Amino acid sequence: MDNRSEIRDFMISRRARITPQQVGLQVHGTRRVAGLRRSEVARLAGVSLEYYTRMERGNLRGVSDSVLDAVARALRLDDAERAHLTDLARNSGPAARRKRPSASRKVRPNLLRMLDALTGIPAFVVDGRADLVAANALGRILFAPLYERADPPNHARFVFLDPRASQFWPDWAKVADDAVALLHVQAARHPYDQALTALIGELSTRSDQFRTRWARHDVQAHTTGVKRLHHPMVGPLELTFEVFLPAADDDQVLIVYCAEAGSASADGLRLLANEAAARAEDTTPP
């Protein structure tokens, strides 16, 4: 992953979405660029045009936190975008190349035991590349179409390369946006992760939808929310989710899904749990 081009494209895309009127600047004559000019961002951030131009061309090496904060304010970055810019700066320059790429680690035994203990709700451990590296029995049957592709499956590959994805995810466009945003976050944290680079290259080559979204450079935090899916066995489900970051695993997250008590989705999960238990009995040796 080319960190300099990622920095350049991200900063240009954020600058292009801000109009002069939004930041109180008067416009005179015809403007040839979308959004703010470099000189206007530099003025708002309190840095020289030359310094800001160097930054936007992809050189964040040695840029102080105070300058990054000033630029983030000038570009009106939200919390996720500020963190993304910080990650890009942290991994800028030759020192980042010497860092060992992030490798998919095995899930710790204690975390696996926790997954197995969560029998009434679907739970997954997902790494930064969107691989579902572990799941409890209910999680596996909830995401059964993903597990038919591979084990462990990759959420992004399913979303963009499996024709069933748009039926499984009724809000496919939102799910696709989220998947790309999370991969952008991971790319900034681990720009020289060869497996991640290969995944992004594969999706860019094989999916126009992915390529279009990747070019937007949108990022976001993904910690809680609602997912709607259409399961082939029980039909529509509306589930809330929470994302937990285990203290000992900085590149793996635990995702837990729940349904509102007494809802049709809770009934659907209960049916899936019964099916998962029945399958476990069938495969248990006498």
Q: Is the dihedral of CA 162, 168, 170, 174 positive or negative?
A: negative
Confidence at 104, pLDDT banded by 50, 70, 90:
low
Question: Of 32, 34, 29, 31, nearest to 14 (Cα)?
Answer: 34
What's the average model confidence in pLDDT over 9-32? 87
* pLDDT above 90 coverage of the chain, percent: 72
Which amino acid is it at 217? H
* pLDDT above 70 coverage of the chain, percent: 93
What's the average model confidence in pLDDT over 230-253? 90
Question: Of 67, 47, 51, nearest to 59 (Cα)?
Answer: 51
Report the distance separating Cα 80 and Cα 93, nearest Å.
22
Domains of the chain listed by start with CATH number: 3-97 (1.10.260.40), 109-283 (3.30.450.180)
pLDDT digits (tens, 9 = 90+) for 111-145: 999 998 998 899 999 999 999 999 999 999 999 99
The residue among 282 and 8 whose pLDDT is bigger is 8
Report the distance separating Cα 138 and Cα 275, nearest Å.
9
Q: What is the pLDDT of residue 251?
A: 82
Q: What is the pLDDT of residue 268?
A: 97
Residue with tokens 């991994």: 91
What CA–CA distances, in Å, run from 250 to 28, 103, 118, 264?
49, 11, 22, 35
CB atoms within 10 A of CB 246: 15
Q: What is the pLDDT of residue 30?
A: 76
What's the average model confidence in pLDDT over 36-65? 95
Confidence at 154, pLDDT banded by 50, 70, 90:
very high
CB atoms within 10 A of CB 192: 17
Query: Phi and psi dihedrals of 230, rounded to 5?
Result: -115, 105
CB atoms within 10 A of CB 207: 18
